[in-house]
Amino acid sequence: MELRINPNLARLVCSNSGKEVPAHGFASPIGLCPCCPRPGKPVVVEYDLQRVRAEVAATPLGANGARGPWRFAPLLPVLGVPEEYAADVGGTPVVRHERLSARLGVEVLLKNEGTNPSGSFKDRGLAVAVALGRACGARRFCVPTQGNAGVAACLFSARLGMPGCVVYMPESYRGCIYHRACEFFGGEVRFVGANIAAAGRAMREDLADELGSGTTVDISTFFEPGRLEGKKTMGLEIALDLGPGAFPDVIVYPTGGGTGLVGIWKAFEELAGLGLIDPARTRLPRMVAVQSANCAPVVAAFAEGLPDVAPVVSQGTIADGLDVPGAIMGHGILRVLHASGGTAVAAPEEAIAAAFTRYGLEGVNGGVESAATLTALEILRADGRVRAGERVLLLNTGTQLIPLSRGTWYHK
């Protein structure tokens, strides 16, 4: 099988200005936009929905017989991956949790992403990003990471038989499970700086020549459009598996870079554009971003009614995935919160730790970031932003095994 760009892909646009971004025949990898001040803003993919509509009229969306993200092939940017590449990615069930529902006075639904092959929802985004980058001529990938994204990037590079992904991690990650897992999947791991931002800066300096020539591609969060498209499949699954009549009222999403939050909403918008859901008759969920109170740039920007997210200084959090002091797609995250009638919540560290303990005692497969969604729901119930009896989906982004092996739960 040969990787190829999906002919349904109509154009690339800047997420900030809405201007079309030249695709150059997809002969070189897609990076940030050229229209906004350097380094540019995220580029997003738009589909020819007329074409997609014709395709899904013949074979309903999600019913093409494929497993994994390519079950939704008409709405993915790249086609032609072999079955072993991503058949085990995604396909996570939404499960109602009775005891948590009774405790919180709402219907609690959990979508558990910990069953993905590298243990987190990052597999969805990186599966599509690596295939898309490869289809556009990338020979190797690089990524700064605080954990799961790096592992997923190495996994899918290995699955395409590419040279190992170059992974930059903060110094303190030396020897931790992420380091070992990246190397297990053939990655080349380098340690720089105190956090992901410093590691990313070092990466772009060290690899400036390779990145400039397009042979090595930066697959950082939102630096290319594939990760968003992969994460979008969570929204497609929620919509198609639950059905429009059973949509949750609220989706609570642990927000670092926010790819999943923006992706889930993009899925709903595309389904509406295809006529597969009717927003006039189906109330779309209110999207809620939860962050650690120690690192809450999105919450601060939302509270102040700003159009974009300004970086903050992180005070450190036990939730590695939430230790993201800036958000390059901040404007997109805020747009989704407003468009959906949602909100943003800062979860105190002690409450996140307590929620993680609660998850364990309830037998829930979820990491510390996932537990933050439970904390957020407790806060939203207490202040009335979520009402009794509402249906609330908590997105469990990864397995508890990684934070437990990291020991961050006890040490940070």
Rounded Cα gap, residues 275 and 265, in angstroms: 15
| Residue among 41 and 381 whose Cβ is closer to Zn ion | 41
| Residue among 17 and 172 whose Cβ is closer to Zn ion | 17
| Residue among 33 and 290 whose Cβ is closer to Zn ion | 33
CA 92 to chain centre: 14
Rounded Cα gap, residues 334 and 337, in angstroms: 5
The interface mask with Zn ion, positions 262-301, x = CB under 5 A, is ----------------------------------------
| Residue among 33 and 287 whose Cβ is closer to Zn ion | 33
**Bridge partners for 166 per DSSP:** 142, 188
CB of 29 to Zn ion, least distance (A): 17
Q: Which of residues 187-226 bind Zn ion (CB under 5 A)?
A: none
Which of 236, 184, 188, 186 shows the shortest CA–CA distance to 210? Answer: 188
The interface mask with Zn ion, positions 5-44, x = CB under 5 A, is ---------x-xx---------------x-xx----x---
The backbone region for 25, taken as left when phi is positive above 0, alpha when psi lies in -120 to 50, beta otherwise, is left
CB of 22 to Zn ion, least distance (A): 12
| Residue among 17 and 315 whose Cβ is closer to Zn ion | 17
**Bridge partners for 218 per DSSP:** 142
Cα separations in angstroms, 384 against 110, 251, 377, 381: 21, 16, 10, 5
CB of 32 to Zn ion, least distance (A): 8
Rounded Cα gap, residues 387 and 106, in angstroms: 7
The interface mask with Zn ion, positions 39-68, x = CB under 5 A, is --x---------------------------
- Contacts with Zn ion by CB under 5 A: the residue count is 7
Which of 95, 98, 107, 150 shows the shortest CA–CA distance to 125? Answer: 150
Rounded Cα gap, residues 232 and 258, in angstroms: 12
CB of 16 to Zn ion, least distance (A): 5
CB of 35 to Zn ion, least distance (A): 4
CB of 28 to Zn ion, least distance (A): 18
Number of other residues whose CB lies within 10 A of the CB of residue 84: 8
CB of 17 to Zn ion, least distance (A): 4
| Residue among 17 and 213 whose Cβ is closer to Zn ion | 17
CA 213 to chain centre: 27
CB of 333 to Zn ion, least distance (A): 16
| Residue among 14 and 284 whose Cβ is closer to Zn ion | 14
**Residue in this structure with the two tokens 């997109």, named with its chain if needed:** 332
240 lies in the site for Zn ion, by CB under 5 A? no
Rounded Cα gap, residues 273 and 259, in angstroms: 21
| Residue among 14 and 288 whose Cβ is closer to Zn ion | 14
Please tell me what DSSP assigns to residue 63: -
Contacts with Zn ion, residue ranges (CB under 5 A): 14, 16-17, 33, 35-36, 41
